[in-house]
Structure 1
Amino acid sequence: MNDYRLREELEKLRFLRRAQLQQLKRVDGWIAAAQKRLRDAEAATPPAPPASPVREWVAYTPLNARQPVEIHRAHCFVKFAKQQTRAITTAEAVQLLGMGAVACEGCRPDPGVSVG
């Protein structure tokens, strides 16, 4: 009698294993399909354009000058005609300050560009 119960329990466990293996195969199929959709979506998405340099500085060039004479922070309160200013990067600001351009007295960009 005891053998009968053990055999019956063993059969139940084997049945449970087969059912779980079938379920795992189904889940594996779902995973494979999701991975394929993700690969397809990534392949269809164009790569992001390279980030443009941050232009947090403004160079002011008077109409009669060839080189910028003043460097300002982009949010500086000193306003000039747009045709006399251009946005520049930090590296350009450092270079222009080194070439003799003057830092604005109002916004003081030279500490921000690490010019000593």
Structure 2
Amino acid sequence: MPEHSSRLEKLRFLLRVQEQQLDVTRRWIEDEERREAERAQGEQTRPPQPDWVLELGIGVGSRPVEVHAGRCYAIGRRRKTITREQAVAALGEGVEACTHCRPDTELGIL
């Protein structure tokens, strides 16, 4: 086989490898676009953040643990969304105010 023919075969092989890599890159791009679309859809369908949250105790009938502002990072898993009036009432009944978000200060109860 002449030298230039071998070189041509090598170049065609290189082209096939590069096309395969382009296919892989295109799949990665498609996957990332799908993830971005799913993320955007999740953000659009996410319920709005509550203004006030009551962190519940363990067990049926147990007392609530704390009142939190809805944006608080320290809210436990057992929670209930409440109104401003319910938050004020809970604090007035002796439920603790979260020491991180200070809902008592925000509600004007010191």
- TM-score of the superposition, structure 1-length normalised? 0.48
TM-score w.r.t. length of structure 2:
0.50
Considering only CA atoms, is the larger Rg found in Structure 1 or Structure 2?
Answer: 1
